[in-house]
Structure formats: structure tokens, C-alpha cells
């Protein structure tokens, strides 16, 4: 079994460092891909990123335990819909049920005035980051949820008010799913409370064939 942690939009692979270390202490090895590295040679959009992410996942012969936060959750969910036989289990953290289009427009304006150094820190060019965000505005995340057949855990930071309702809707419409909040955390659960998150992931994965 391969265990894969997928970071969010404003993060990079190092956002999982503490979670990964905690899981390793419990003898669970993880793969942590860099999403921006997958599209570094092209102007990224969601479809291109998803294609590269799918290729990455498909290179493993084993079944996958996927865990994604925000954008990482969208990618993991999309992959699970398309390749249900490849996915052993799925964890979605702070993942939207629908793209909040108005919020995306506001965020787009904010991103345009943010300094380039902010994006350099996560390993992505400013124009590429904005291009990726813009390409996500019409995603239909909520369709074909019936294609998710694996055991699924829906997580949300207890203070992540923006995504709490989405988490409950995903739990409602994904069969064989459960829902849990993580204390002392907002949207970036893997940064805000990595130890509790790692314990939660471990408890879920240890019963999924690790």
C-alpha cells in the first residue's frame, strides 16, 4: 500500500513535514508529492495539474491511501472518482463541496497585489499561481460522488468556518464516509495541529491494510 499526502494551494510538500514525521514514528511511510513541480514547465491550469497528478498516482502498482487538503483534496477526490479500483482509502481535509466563485474572485484580486516573494516561498511563480486559481473557478466537485466506493474520512479544522458545511455535505453524499473535526485548527490543519492530524490519519490508515 502506498500512502500519499497531497498539499493545499498555498502550501508545498514541506507543509506535511511534522505529520510525516509523526506517521513515520508509527512505522507508516508516506509519499509527499510537490504539485507545483508537476507543472513547472508549463503555464498551469487545473486540468494539466490533474493529468500530471493522475500520472504520478498511476505509476504505483500498489493500491493507494490518499489524503489531501484543500486543492490536494480536490485532486485526490477527482482521482478516486476516475480510478476507484486504485484507491484503498481517501481522506479529505478542508475540501470544498462546491467552488465558492465569489470568494475565488476576491482571492484572485488579493493574489494580484501580493508580493512575488510570497509565491516564491511555496515554489510557484505568481502568474502561474493566479492562472491555476482562475482555472478552478468552474470545477464541478460535487458531481459523481457516487463513484467513490472506498472508505472515506472527511476532516475539517474546528475553526474552518468556510469549509465546515462543505465537509458535512461531502460526508452526506459520499457513501461509506465518516466526518470528524480537528481541534485547535483552521483551514491548514496539517500546519495548525499536525500531531492530532497525524494521530487521526494513523488511526484511520492502520485499519486500512498498513
Does 72 or 109 have the greater pLDDT score?
Answer: 72
C-alpha cell at 210: 498498513
Q: What is the pLDDT of residues 122-159, one digit of tens each?
A: 888 888 888 898 899 889 999 999 999 999 999 999 99
> Mean pLDDT over residues 59-77, rounded?
97
* Alpha carbon 109 to its chain's center: 23
Q: What is the pLDDT of residue 3?
A: 97
DSSP category for residue 13: G
> Mean pLDDT over residues 50-64, rounded?
97
Q: What is the pLDDT of residue 42?
A: 84
Q: What is the pLDDT of residues 70-82, one digit of tens each?
A: 999 999 999 999 9
Prediction pTM value = 0.94
CA nearest neighbour of 158 among 143, 136, 180, 134: 180
User: Backbone dihedral region of 44: left (phi > 0), alpha (psi from -120 to 50 degrees) or beta?
Assistant: beta
Amino acid at each position: 500500500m502506498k500512502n500519499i499526502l497531497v498539499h493545499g494551494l498555498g502550501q508545498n510538500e514541506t507543509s506535511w513535514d511534522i505529520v510525516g514525521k509523526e506517521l513515520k514514528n508509527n512505522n507508516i511511510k508516506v509519499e509527499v508529492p510537490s504539485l507545483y513541480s508537476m507543472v513547472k514547465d508549463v503555464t498551469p491550469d487545473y486540468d494539466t495539474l490533474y493529468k500530471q497528478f493522475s500520472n504520478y498516482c498511476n505509476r504505483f502498482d500498489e493500491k493507494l491511501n490518499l489524503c489531501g487538503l484543500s486543492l490536494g483534496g480536490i485532486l485526490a477526490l477527482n482521482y478516486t472518482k476516475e480510478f476507484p479500483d486504485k484507491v484503498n482509502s481517501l481522506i479529505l481535509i478542508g475540501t470544498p463541496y462546491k467552488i465558492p466563485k465569489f470568494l475565488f474572485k476576491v482571492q484572485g484580486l488579493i493574489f494580484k497585489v501580493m508580493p512575488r516573494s510570497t509565491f516564491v516561498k511555496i515554489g510557484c511563480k505568481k502568474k502561474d499561481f493566479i492562472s491555476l486559481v482562475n482555472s478552478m473557478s468552474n470545477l464541478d466537485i460535487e458531481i459523481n460522488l457516487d463513484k467513490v466506493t472506498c472508505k472515506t474520512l472527511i476532516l475539517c479544522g474546528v475553526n474552518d468556518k468556510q469549509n465546515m458545511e462543505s465537509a458535512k455535505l461531502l460526508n452526506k453524499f459520499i457513501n461509506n464516509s465518516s466526518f470528524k473535526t480537528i481541534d485547535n485548527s483552521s483551514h491548514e490543519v496539517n500546519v495548525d495541529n499536525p500531531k492530532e492530524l497525524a494521530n487521526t490519519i494513523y488511526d484511520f490508515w492502520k485499519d486500512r491494510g498498513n
